[in-house]
Amino acid sequence: MLRFARFATEVLAPWVWVLTLPLAVAWAATGHRPLPTLGWGLLISVTGSLIPMAVIVRGARRGRWDGHHVTNRAGRRVPLLAAGVSLGLGFAVLLAGGAPAPLVALAASMLASLLVAVAITFGAKFKISLHAAVASAAVVVLALTYGPWALLLALPAAWVAWSRVALRDHTTPEVLAGLLMGVVVGGGGYWALLTALR
């Protein structure tokens, strides 16, 4: 059972969702054109996922935090800051380059989610589950982009949420709070921003 949980935690980690979600949104936002999809999608994928993950892995190898999932709350400061700075730069390029509204809304909702996560993690001193938050936000964004069938992705989102509790990396309240934050801030924020931009 723990092997099943570890597998979910790895293959459905936040960086995986953030790597693939922008490409899925870009595919719809650019009218299914491969080059614009790759250009805009990879901009968010690299600045929102790959660069922050490189910082996390490097820090874990140097012993700055407990591993690439950064399960200790205090260790999240640098990874969250790195993600915010990197994604913020990507967001600036999106704005300057006239990116399609769904991609601007996606990057903005990701930045808003980061700010809320920082406030909860360090202000409220509560170790909210970022695995759960990112997964549930992605489900909402994909459902808004591709229709209700995308809600089937709630199953893998629930799987990764369960895995965090099964591995004792989070408590049930931390995971439930993450799911709620993802739906409201990530998904709801995306919808609100997209509505405002159109």
The predicted-structure confidence for 66-112, as pLDDT tens digits, reads as follows: 878 888 777 889 999 999 999 999 999 999 999 999 999 999 999 99
Identity of the amino acid at 147? G
Provide the pLDDT for residue 11: 98
DSSP state of 148: G
Provide the pLDDT for residue 154: 98
Distance of CA 11 to the CA centre of its chain: 13
Task: Show me where the domains of the chain are located.
Answer: 2-197
Handedness of CA 59, 187, 41, 96 (dihedral sign): negative
How far apart are alpha carbons 104 and 119 in whole angstroms? 23
pTM of structure = 0.96
Residues of the chain with pLDDT under 50: none
Provide the pLDDT for residue 16: 98
Provide the pLDDT for residue 98: 97
DSSP string, 55-91: HHHHHHHTTSSSSTT--SGGGGHHHHHHHHHHHHHHH
Provide the pLDDT for residue 68: 84
DSSP state of 14: H
Handedness of CA 34, 186, 158, 64 (dihedral sign): positive
Tokens of 131: 């695995």
How far apart are alpha carbons 146 and 129 in whole angstroms? 26
Q: Which of 78, 100, 97 is nearest to 31 (CA)?
A: 100
Distance of CA 30 to the CA centre of its chain: 21
Q: Are 134 and 14 in contact (CB under 8 A)?
A: yes
